[in-house]
Amino acid sequence: MPSLMSPLSNLFRKKRSLDDLRSTRDERVAALELARGRLARACESRDTAAIEGSDLLDAAEAEMRAAEDRIESLTIAVEAISTEIAAIEADQAQKKDRAVRESTARDLNARADKFEKLIPLWVDVLRDSAAVGELAKPVVGEGIGLYEFFKQIETQIPAAYADIAFQLRFRAGEVLAGRAPAVLPTPEVVIPLAPPIPRTRVFAMQNLKFRDPETNQVRLVERFDIVEVPNSLVDLAISKNLVIDPESDRARELIKQRRGAPPLQERCYDLDLGGEAPKSRSQLPWNIEVINRGPPTKMSLASPAAFEPIAARSVPNNNESNDDQR
């Protein structure tokens, strides 16, 4: 009887959403963990009661069996719910894949329709072209070769279009049958290269710097060197007398004085800032810390005592010697 009631119960059971099933499974998993903890405690109580010979042994064993039954029931429930969730997820994935395949097949068949519609147009155009070439053949001769060309492609182009349409429809059938990818390959997107920025060749009269718009790097230009400057900065540099024509006599003479080493940024005229001149170099390159030691201290020195050299005291006074001799 249970084997008959089980399928009937599945028929009348209300179908639940995927979110409800996942929530229920999480609840059953949490309950299963609690039951396992209950079983561990019951086993510990049984062992203690058995060792001590307590009267609680029967109760501990009953609690242990109840925990084991609960674990078995919850395990079955979790497995059944997980199976149902997996079936719903597989069904949803299959429906999604089917929808994508049907969309791809419709796209392929629509492309095939376009090719097939062009076939009779090509036939008419090529047949008319061949007929016109036949009319011109007695006049222009066969050297031009158009008549033979139209006769050759009169059947080749329609046949090629028909083959393309057949291949597209065949691919659509393979997609629907699951033997080809559900999505068409994406064509590679080729990003065209940006056109080069127009530049003008000039002769630098000062050390210059500007940010190159293509590399986004600061470009340093030595004085008396030739450089290609973006056209957006050329007029500014000329108006500031920072550059001249590299083919001028003055440029040919000054280029001999070129040092041949990149300048320092702080010594360059900045074209991005309107040709701003470099800052003055009068400022010392080091910092001097000013220390306030308070007001000045007044000091006084005693007057020196009268001092007579020893040598001067030992030498006789010439005036006194002359007086004695008199």
Q: What is the pLDDT of residues 234-248, one digit of tens each?
A: 999 999 999 999 999
Q: What is the mean pLDDT of residues 182-206?
A: 87
Nearby residues of 284 by Cβ (< 8 Å), 6 or more positions away: none
The pLDDT of residue 209: 93
Separation in Å, CA 70 to CA 56, 118, 221: 21, 73, 85
> So what's the pLDDT on residue 309?
55
Residue 283 has pLDDT above 60, yes or no: no
On the CB side of 271, CA atoms within 13 Å amount to 28
**Is the per-residue pLDDT at 70 higher than 50?**
yes
Q: What pLDDT does residue 175 have?
A: 93
Q: In this predicted structure, what is the pLDDT of residue 325?
A: 47
Q: Residue 187: what pLDDT?
A: 78
pLDDT score of 315 more than 60: no
Interval 251-266 mean pLDDT:
88
**Distance in angstroms (rounded) separating the CA atoms of residues 166 and 180:** 16
Span of 14-23, 86-95, 128-137, 170-179 with lowest mean pLDDT: 128-137
Residue percentage of the chain with pLDDT more than 90: 44
Q: What percent of the chain has pLDDT over 70?
A: 77
Q: What is the average pLDDT across 282-308?
A: 61
